[in-house]
Amino acid sequence: MTDTAAILESSRQSRRWGAWYVTEHRIRGMRAYRGTLIATAIGTPVLYLFAFGVGLATLITDNVSPVPGVSYLEFVAPALLATAAVLIAMEEYTFGVLLGLKWNPIYVGMNAAPLSPRQIANGVMGFIGIRMFIVVSVYFLVMLVFGATTSGWAVLSIVAGMLGGFAFAAVAAYATTVEEERGQFAILHRTVILPLTLFSGTLFPLTQLPIALQWIGWISPLWHASELGRQFVYGPSEPLWLSVVHVLYLLALGALGWELFVRNLAKRLNK
Amino acid sequence: MPAPVITATALTKKYKDFAAVDGIDFEVAPGESFGLLGPNGAGKSTTMRMVGAVSTRTSGDLQILGLDPDQHGPAIRSQLGVVPQSDNLDTELRVRDNLIVYGRYFGLPRSQVATRANELLEFAQLTDRAKGKIDDLSGGMKRRLTIARALINEPRILLLDEPTTGLDPQARHILWDRLFRLKEQGTTLVLTTHYMDEAEQLCDRLVVVDKGRIMAEGAPAALIREYSSREVLEVRFGSERNATVASELAGIGDRLEVLPDRILIYAASGEEALVEVTRRGLEPVTSLVRRSSLEDVFLRLTGRSLVE
């Protein structure tokens, strides 16, 4: 074997498994604060499901769904689950990404090794997927404990929630363009994400909003993810084509944001 | 002569209209210890990033181990060890885990990485810190760990960008000792520095860089011979008088350099020059005779000092 061929051969493993090495690294990093992670993963669903599904539910006796006999707890649980996935993803897309680029610049180190920006982005997304999966799975288990679902299909609300989280991937692409964090992320959370959690047909049906405001829900990935989750938890409550639209819309946004993230990260790392 | 491991020809990097690296040529032979010496902003780090295959060149040609970084970035990087200017250890991981995850990036099996991590902790004199936190390490320890991390893949070329900047003298000497061992083992070292003593200690050959261009090239001793005298006499007359006294010193030594705080007199013998200064009835506040250094070479070539 010539020297050049040997060099090309030596990077074969990295070229194939690079993204996984990035995910593996982040999982190791997560061990440092696993206590906090476990506490939030369990505490959040218990508090929210209790407050909305049990507390607020006592005030809500009217039908909240076109499907008769659906309790408020059943209605709100899939949306809360999707919201949890989105919030976890948002934390990683914003602070997580800038952490890796600036405050604890591990992406720079990865890029100096044989890993490409695409592999780094994919590995980061893989880690975010794992984090979301853990959080929403716990959410789902707590839902079962609260009796928020009886359907066997309900387990698929985990997938719906994760699709909702991935649909915000463009935020990660945005974070790679931030040089100095001067509260942009907080503004993003307060002016975009928080209102979306309220006006995406999460706590009440979208149809309760004035028609002039319903468009917020139609473009909001959170509405699509919540509605999709509801189909699995107690559905169908909408025509099949609409459920297909939810899936396609979430996948399309996710794929677009992911690709943008890859490109922006490559730009940021290649100075 | 063996084929060079790095060949740069008219290598250029521009940011909009500003040329950070402005057409430089150099070669590095296998096993050589090669330095880029220059002040901050000379284009050293930009050059290092291009050689490290993480920054695309604007024009010119660059071959690392016979490969073009534009086409084979990851393959080239699999053969490099990189010590960046500012440490980028993962502060969320313990000392030894930093080596483990980095080794994994190169596709090395876990068992091999584990053995290698232990050897490198030994080399970096950090074995007793293996389970410690990064934030608890001193600046010198972090640097040594970063170097250990860069060696995890047994690189053919080790790139060090300002390896001892910000370290205290003792930490610098420990680090130099480690780098010297690597050099003895035949590792190719490429380093940037704005410390002349570092360049003199570690580099077989260096280029003096200023404003993105190469001003001179050669072995440290040869550069000093070529661009400076054997000795330098430094005299101070107080910041007020330095400039006025300068004219009265004309003719002593080969050359005079008037700095704001002192006057440098370049001469084969500093002592003889000092005798002549006092014979002319000039009484310097302080005087110092020393050997010429790369600092003097830089001053001669650019009219400015290295550390400003």
pLDDT of A2 over the 80 cut: no
User: B105–A21: do the CB atoms touch at under 8 Å?
Assistant: yes
A57/A76 Cα distance (integer angstroms): 9
Q: What is the mean pLDDT of residues B262-271?
A: 93
Inter-residue contact B153 to A11 (CB < 8 Å): no
Q: Which of A158-162, A241-245, B292-296 has the lowest mean pLDDT?
A: B292-296
pLDDT of B171 over the 90 cut: no
Q: Write out pLDDT tens, residues B131-143.
A: 999 999 999 999 9
A28/A154 Cα distance (integer angstroms): 31
pLDDT of B48 over the 80 cut: yes
> What pLDDT sits at residue A58?
85
Q: What is the mean pLDDT of residues B143-152?
A: 95
B287/B264 Cα distance (integer angstroms): 10
B242: confidence class by pLDDT, cuts 50, 70, 90: confident
Q: Write out pLDDT tens, residues A11-48.
A: 888 989 999 999 999 999 988 888 988 898 899 999 99
Q: Which of A4, A17, A108 is opposite residue B66, by nearest beta carbon?
A: A4
pLDDT of A140 over the 80 cut: yes
> What pLDDT sits at residue A55?
87
B308: confidence class by pLDDT, cuts 50, 70, 90: low
What is the average pLDDT value for chain A, to the nearest integer? 93
Q: Which of A92-101, B123-132, B238-247 has the lowest mean pLDDT?
A: B238-247
Stretch 38-77 of chain A: residues touching chain B, C-beta under 8 Å: none
Residue type, A91: E
A53: confidence class by pLDDT, cuts 50, 70, 90: confident
CA dihedral sign, ordered A203, A205, A210, A214: positive
Instruction: Using an 8 Å CB-CB cutoff, list chain B residues near A7.
Output: 65, 67, 72, 75-76, 78-79
Instruction: Using an 8 Å CB-CB cutoff, list chain B residues near A23.
Output: none
> What pLDDT sits at residue B246?
86
User: A116–B97: do the CB atoms touch at under 8 Å?
Assistant: no
> What pLDDT sits at residue B167?
86
From the number of C-beta atoms within 10 Å of its C-beta (0-12, 13-18, 19+), residue B240 rates as exposed
What is the chain A residue with the closest CA to B135?
Answer: A104
Q: Write out pLDDT tens, residues B176-194.
A: 998 999 989 889 999 998 8
What is the chain A residue with the closest CA to B3?
Answer: A3
Is pTM, for the whole model, over 0.90? yes
Q: Write out pLDDT tens, residues B64-88.
A: 999 999 999 999 999 999 999 999 9
Please confirm whether the linkage preceding A236 is cis (ω < 30° from 0).
Answer: yes
Q: Which of A13, A21, A112 is opposite residue B82, by nearest beta carbon?
A: A112
> What pLDDT sits at residue B125?
94
Q: What is the mean pLDDT of residues B5-15?
A: 97
Longest Cα pair distance anywhere in chain B, in angstroms?
74
> What pLDDT sits at residue B306?
66
Q: What is the mean pLDDT of residues A54-75?
A: 83
Q: Which of A3, A104, A269 is opposite residue B91, by nearest beta carbon?
A: A104
pLDDT of A1 over the 70 cut: no
* Secondary structure (H, E, C), B148-173: HHHCCCCCCEEEEECCCCCCCHHHHH
A20 has a chain B CB within 8 A of its CB:
no
The closest alpha carbon to B79, from B188, B206, B203, belongs to B188
Smallest CA–CA distance, residue B162 to chain A, in Å, is 16
Instruction: Using an 8 Å CB-CB cutoff, list chain B residues near A13.
Output: 106-108
